Chain A
Amino acid sequence: MTAPTITPYRSELPPARDGFPQLLHAEWTKLRTVRRWSLTLLAGVVITVLVSLLSAFSGSSSVSGDRSAPPVGPHGGVVSDSFPFVHQPLSGDGSITARVSPLTGREGRAPEPWAKAGLVIKESTKAGSPYAAVMITPGHGVRLQSDFTHDTAGGTVDRDRPHWLRLTRSGDEFTAYESADGSTWAKAGTTRVAGLPETVQAGLFVATPEETMVQRQFGSTSVGGRPARVTAAFAHVTVDGGQGAWPQDTVGGGVGGGLKGTPDSATEKSGTWTLTGSGDVAPYTPDVDIAQQSLAGAQIGLIPLVALGVLFITAEYRRGMILTTLTASPRRGRVLVAKAVVLAGVTFVAGLVGATLSFLLSEPELRDRMPNPLFHPDVALTDAPVLRAVVGTAVLLAAVAVLALALGAILRNTAVAVTLMVVALVLPLVLLSGLPLDAAQWVMRLTPLAGFAVQRTLPDYEHVDAVCMPENGCYPQGPWEGLSVLCAWAVVLLGVAVWRLRRRDA
């Protein structure tokens, strides 16, 4: 029937290569050869920077504020260090012991959970100087704290009965002991305080964080604070190695001058000291995270990147080009993964440029507009938390783009996928203040929005109660934890997309 002399065709081309790098190269070529997509990417960068700048320059600037320098702790950060201090010099090693009564609040109020009464050994009476202290707290038992940022938990405390505390210095090492009865002692913990001189001040202190009042309603949240005041009594005070006299000082000046009731004071009556104080001994955490705010533009800048991510796959379905793609590479999972890798790389770079420019251009202005800029850390791009926030923002944008790609691959429809992504990422931000705090925090924890936690640069201290309002950019989880949630979303959705692509007819 057919001529038997046919020789099947043999190509003389050099052999082809079919590795994953070739697939990446192909997807990269696809991405860069549609000019509209390059412009979309650029729009992502420009919008990120512009929105960041806009929010930095639109805030009211207050120039009337008090611009005196706040105390700075040994770690270099701003601290609260204000308390009545009854003390005596202690040379070399030694210890201080006292029986501390339960704390009482001002005019019969309950004391704050992190109010403190206890023993402190401190370099000097200068605010911000190094120290170690053991204390009882109404809400968190016995604590051993040092240099503002270090905190170790001890035992529990009976709320109605006095508790014995002891703090011992041995060189740079401080050991805390506690006892319910003054005879059976337990070790509460040890800590090191570097750079203390031979002679230090050992004494008694009370301190309390501010009372905070939170009003949340749809569209507005106000967080107010006012100084609190606590009182505690110290009996059987002994300083082993001390020098007898008990000078009284107020470290850092009082903060409760305007409060009614017993003023800040320290009085002694038949060997028992009663201290009333209103300041706190803790690291200071500003309620505004300036570096985080300087990156705010990413919340809007992600929209073009979402569109790009979706279009990178849906454009192929719309034109039928997916057929060419899948015939060129029948191993479909690899195609989608190659797309994701290329898209992630490109959006990461765009995000990095956008975030870096946003930070560099907005941060100085934001800080300058704060009531007292000195209370906000003067951060540079190379500081670890800032670097984490900036690089994290780039990772966040890349993950969002991959998420969009995955959704586009699953839905195969540009409009639906883009809408869904924008609704998922922007709508919660708008609605957060309308949700109960618990619900809002769960939204922040579980939705892809959690990724924005990576923009947070201020440290969270376990021993400082911060008012954490999602609508104010406070996330209930750590930066990496939040970013991992977003990345998990992207990976899982991409997995679903791969699974669907492999199962369904093209």
Chain B
Amino acid sequence: MQATIEIQELRKQFGQTVAVDGLSFTVRPGQVTGFVGPNGAGKSTTMRMLLGLDAPDSGQALIGGRRYATLRRPLTEVGALLDAAAVHPSRRGRDHLLWLAHSHGFPASRVDELLERVGLASAGRRRAGNYSLGMRQRLGIAAALLGDPPVLVLDEPVNGLDPEGIRWIRGFLRGLAREGRAVLVSSHLMSELEDSADHLVVVGRGRLIADTSVAELLAAASGERVSLRTSARTDAMRLLAREGATVAADGPQSLTVSGLATERIVELLTTGGVPFSEIGAHRATLEEAYMELTRDAAEFRTVEAGADTAPGAEAATATANEAEGTRS
């Protein structure tokens, strides 16, 4: 079985609300795929359809080419974490994993192994109702890993975690992907995925906005803009605007310039006698890129198309990487 998730023309409507509207994308093995969109964008509904919990109105969601309902030993094919709070509060953490293990004929030793792996070995005998949110997330991840599946589907696993927990989970997810697993992680905050996702599927109002690698997205969002740091902001603006550039001030000493190449800007400023302390290709954060993507529906298509075809994308990435060195 190929360890992939395929979402094909998936559609689901609740009453008058279209939750998922013709969504298609593929999740490949060996990388963490972020599934991003604002709350209500249809991420959870898509995951529920993928896991056979809700029936799609049309289209299909496949795991390794099969519908979830047809999987015989699902825990060995897909590990899922939908809601970390979904444990009976009176049941001990270890017992929660134990019944899951028994449903697939795994021995209790497998449960202890996983408790150890997610760092709950000592808390396993406490009631799940007394767990912190972070501990529940760990328990949920242990449950997802119980059958050692090649595909993982995690809904908002970072939500509500403390910084230590976030760091742990990021490293954990990357580790799982490195082992060759396909990992799909949803979040409504792009920043949560900043250091863990390799690939992004961005949705809004049930539709696909972008299906792109993190690097490409950043490059596209950064565009051909140049960040400039100068003490003579007004002089610089006047000078550059005269040469046809669009200049925006983002701080008392910083400007973002578009329409001129970095080399030309350096030349102009030097000959014009305008002092500047720092210049480099503008590097967008994922959050900025995401904001740009979701600004309004009309823009969605252009970015979607541009992500694959923009000729300057590779170059911009290169510039961005070089520029990194010049930033303080």
Q: Are A and B part of the same complex?
A: yes
Specify which chain B residues have a CB less than 8 angstroms from the CB of A6 in the assembled complex: 28-31, 180
The reply to whether A16 and B30 form a contact with Cβ atoms under 8 Å apart is: no
Could you say which of B30, B87, B105 contacts A17, with CB atoms under 8 Å apart? B105
| Complex Cα spacing A331 to B72, Å | 9
| Complex Cα spacing A320 to B51, Å | 14
Could you say which of A9, A12, A319, A506 contacts B48, with CB atoms under 8 Å apart? A506
Q: Does A220 contact B (CB under 8 A)?
A: no
Specify which chain A residues have a CB less than 8 angstroms from the CB of B85 in the assembled complex: 319-320
| Complex Cα spacing A10 to B31, Å | 15
**Which residues of chain B from 89 to 114 have any CB-CB distance to chain A below 8 Å in the complex?**
89-92, 95-96, 98-100, 102-106, 110
Specify which chain A residues have a CB less than 8 angstroms from the CB of B92 in the assembled complex: 33
Specify which chain A residues have a CB less than 8 angstroms from the CB of B82 in the assembled complex: 320, 323-324, 327
The reply to whether B54 and A25 form a contact with Cβ atoms under 8 Å apart is: no
The reply to whether B213 and A9 form a contact with Cβ atoms under 8 Å apart is: no
The reply to whether B90 and A34 form a contact with Cβ atoms under 8 Å apart is: yes
**Which residues of chain A from 1 to 29 have any CB-CB distance to chain B below 8 Å in the complex?**
1-3, 6-13, 15-19, 22-23, 25-29
Q: Does B76 contact A (CB under 8 A)?
A: yes
The reply to whether A330 and B150 form a contact with Cβ atoms under 8 Å apart is: no
Specify which chain B residues have a CB less than 8 angstroms from the CB of A7 in the assembled complex: 30, 180
The reply to whether B87 and A327 form a contact with Cβ atoms under 8 Å apart is: no
The reply to whether B102 and A320 form a contact with Cβ atoms under 8 Å apart is: no
| Complex Cα spacing A18 to B75, Å | 10
Stretch in contact with the other chain, from B141-149, B184-192, B254-262: B141-149
The reply to whether B100 and A34 form a contact with Cβ atoms under 8 Å apart is: no
The reply to whether B52 and A326 form a contact with Cβ atoms under 8 Å apart is: yes
The reply to whether B30 and A3 form a contact with Cβ atoms under 8 Å apart is: yes
Could you say which of A19, A27, A320 contacts B86, with CB atoms under 8 Å apart? A320
| Complex Cα spacing A505 to B51, Å | 11
| Complex Cα spacing A9 to B152, Å | 11
The reply to whether A321 and B88 form a contact with Cβ atoms under 8 Å apart is: yes
**Contacts A9-B179, A22-B105, A29-B102 hold; do A315 and B88 have CB atoms under 8 A apart?**
yes
The SS class assigned to the B binding surface is: loop
The reply to whether B54 and A8 form a contact with Cβ atoms under 8 Å apart is: no
Q: Does B35 contact A (CB under 8 A)?
A: no
Nearest B residue to A324 via CB reads B86
Specify which chain A residues have a CB less than 8 angstroms from the CB of B201 in the assembled complex: none
The reply to whether A327 and B74 form a contact with Cβ atoms under 8 Å apart is: yes
Residue interface bits B304-323, CB-to-A below 8 A is 1, else 0? 00000000000000000000
The reply to whether B98 and A330 form a contact with Cβ atoms under 8 Å apart is: no
The reply to whether B90 and A25 form a contact with Cβ atoms under 8 Å apart is: no
Nearest B residue to A10 via CB reads B150
Q: Does B83 contact A (CB under 8 A)?
A: yes
Q: Does B249 contact A (CB under 8 A)?
A: no
Could you say which of A22, A319, A505 contacts B87, with CB atoms under 8 Å apart? A319
Q: Does B232 contact A (CB under 8 A)?
A: no
The reply to whether A505 and B53 form a contact with Cβ atoms under 8 Å apart is: yes
The reply to whether A9 and B76 form a contact with Cβ atoms under 8 Å apart is: no
Specify which chain B residues have a CB less than 8 angstroms from the CB of A35 in the assembled complex: 90
Nearest A residue to B176 via CB reads A9
**Which residues of chain A from 321 to 346 have any CB-CB distance to chain B below 8 Å in the complex?**
321, 323-324, 326-331
Specify which chain A residues have a CB less than 8 angstroms from the CB of B78 in the assembled complex: 327
Q: Does B73 contact A (CB under 8 A)?
A: yes
Specify which chain A residues have a CB less than 8 angstroms from the CB of B2 in the assembled complex: 8
The reply to whether B69 and A26 form a contact with Cβ atoms under 8 Å apart is: no
The reply to whether A16 and B54 form a contact with Cβ atoms under 8 Å apart is: no
Could you say which of A9, A33, A319, A327 contacts B150, with CB atoms under 8 Å apart? A9
Specify which chain B residues have a CB less than 8 angstroms from the CB of A34 in the assembled complex: 88, 90-91
Specify which chain B residues have a CB less than 8 angstroms from the CB of A12 in the assembled complex: 148
**Which residues of chain A from 176 to 212 have any CB-CB distance to chain B below 8 Å in the complex?**
none
| Complex Cα spacing A387 to B102, Å | 36
CB distance from B26 to the nearest CB of A (A): 11
**Contacts A9-B180, A506-B54 hold; do A2 and B90 have CB atoms under 8 A apart?**
no
Specify which chain B residues have a CB less than 8 angstroms from the CB of A126 in the assembled complex: none
Specify which chain B residues have a CB less than 8 angstroms from the CB of A8 in the assembled complex: 2-3, 29-30, 150, 180-182
Q: Does A30 contact B (CB under 8 A)?
A: yes
**Contacts A6-B180, A327-B52 hold; do A30 and B73 have CB atoms under 8 A apart?**
no
Specify which chain A residues have a CB less than 8 angstroms from the CB of B70 in the assembled complex: 330
CB distance from A232 to the nearest CB of B (A): 74
**Contacts A9-B29, A11-B150, A320-B86 hold; do A26 and B102 have CB atoms under 8 A apart?**
yes
| Complex Cα spacing A329 to B89, Å | 22
**Which residues of chain B from 105 to 138 have any CB-CB distance to chain A below 8 Å in the complex?**
105-106, 110
The reply to whether A2 and B103 form a contact with Cβ atoms under 8 Å apart is: no
Q: Does B68 contact A (CB under 8 A)?
A: yes
| Complex Cα spacing A347 to B62, Å | 40
The reply to whether A33 and B48 form a contact with Cβ atoms under 8 Å apart is: no
The 6 nearest A-B residue pairs measured at CB: A6-B30, A17-B105, A320-B86, A26-B103, A33-B95, A11-B148
Known A2-B198, A8-B29, A16-B73; further 14 A-B contacts with Cβ < 8 A: A1-B213, A2-B199, A8-B3, A11-B147, A13-B76, A13-B148, A17-B73, A18-B105, A22-B105, A26-B100, A30-B91, A320-B86, A321-B86, A505-B55
User: A-side interface residues toward B, CB under 8 Å?
Assistant: 1-3, 6-13, 15-19, 22-23, 25-30, 33-36, 315-316, 319-321, 323-324, 326-331, 505-506
* 24 residue pairs bridging A and B, Cβ less than 8 Å apart: A1-B213, A2-B28, A6-B28, A8-B3, A8-B30, A11-B76, A11-B147, A13-B106, A17-B105, A30-B91, A33-B92, A34-B90, A319-B88, A319-B89, A324-B100, A327-B52, A327-B53, A327-B78, A327-B82, A328-B74, A330-B68, A330-B71, A505-B54, A506-B48
